[in-house]
Amino acid sequence: MNYRHAFHAGNFADVMKHVVLVRTLLYLARKDGAFRAIDTHAGIGLYDLSSEEAERTGEWRDGVARLEAPFAPEVEELLSPYRQVLDEVRASHGHAYPGSPFIIRALSRPQDVSVFVELHPADGDVLAARFKGRGVKVLRLDGWTALHALIPSPERRGLVLIDPPYEQPGELKRLAAEMVKAWRKWPTGVFLGWYPIKDPGAVAEAAGILRAAGPAKALRLELMVDAPDDPSRLNGCGLFILNPPFVLKEEAEILLPALAARLARSTYAGFRCEPFGREVAPG
């Protein structure tokens, strides 16, 4: 309950997470049928980068602010829809950054359904006031409880973004276990589980849980902006993805090295794009 994303909005982790989220939403929108997007730890959906919280950490300066200069054409082609959302936010809200609920709504169609879950009382009130109307629901629930209560959805297709605050010990291991249970309950859904990279051993343990569950298709994406040798700081971030869009691996192999080079804190930059589902022999 103490985590407030306003201090971290627009940082390198947001950039990586939201670029992948955009690519996944675009893939789901290729078919005319409706999809459902569920955000289990939604926050407030939009963040003022001139606020006291954002200015106190300044994390956005080493994140989204570094994207101003263009990338190579093949990277820009994939980044373009994400940049369009950023432009829409700046045009309507000034110096602000979109959270995942804003991105989901920006890329949803009239037939699609969005469900945003937030437990924090103040953030939940802001979220509910900000997102109203047809096709959107805002719920005040524990994100882990909501994950299982909201699936399977009436729409066969959809995605679930799971982005917990990681305030409790063992939450990364819990992410893997909860993703396995959710995938078994809704095998046609796309599940994106975000995680911080501080202790590589904890990440490897979580990846092992997912691998042992035997999903047919799974992808592990990571972005490193510093050497993983100090477990007290955030050196990178990642996404475990179950049922990833078939084009996502190829897209990530273009996007992640470019983002790593641009967002690196020093001379160290790294990325991972690793399939680990049942269709891929363990390496």
The torsion defined by the Cα of 198, 203, 66 and 264, in degrees rounded to 10, comes to 60
Catalytic-labelled residue, pool 142, 163, 199, 230: 163
Distance CA 136, CA 39 (A): 11
What string of DSSP letters covers 236-272? EEEEEEES--TTHHHHHHHHHHHHHHHH-SSS--EEE
For residue 49, the one-letter residue type is L
Question: Residue 48 catalytic?
Answer: no
Length of the chain: 283
The single residue listed with the structure tokens 């054409």 is: 73
Distance CA 161, CA 120 (A): 17
Distance CA 205, CA 214 (A): 15
Which residues are known to be catalytic?
163
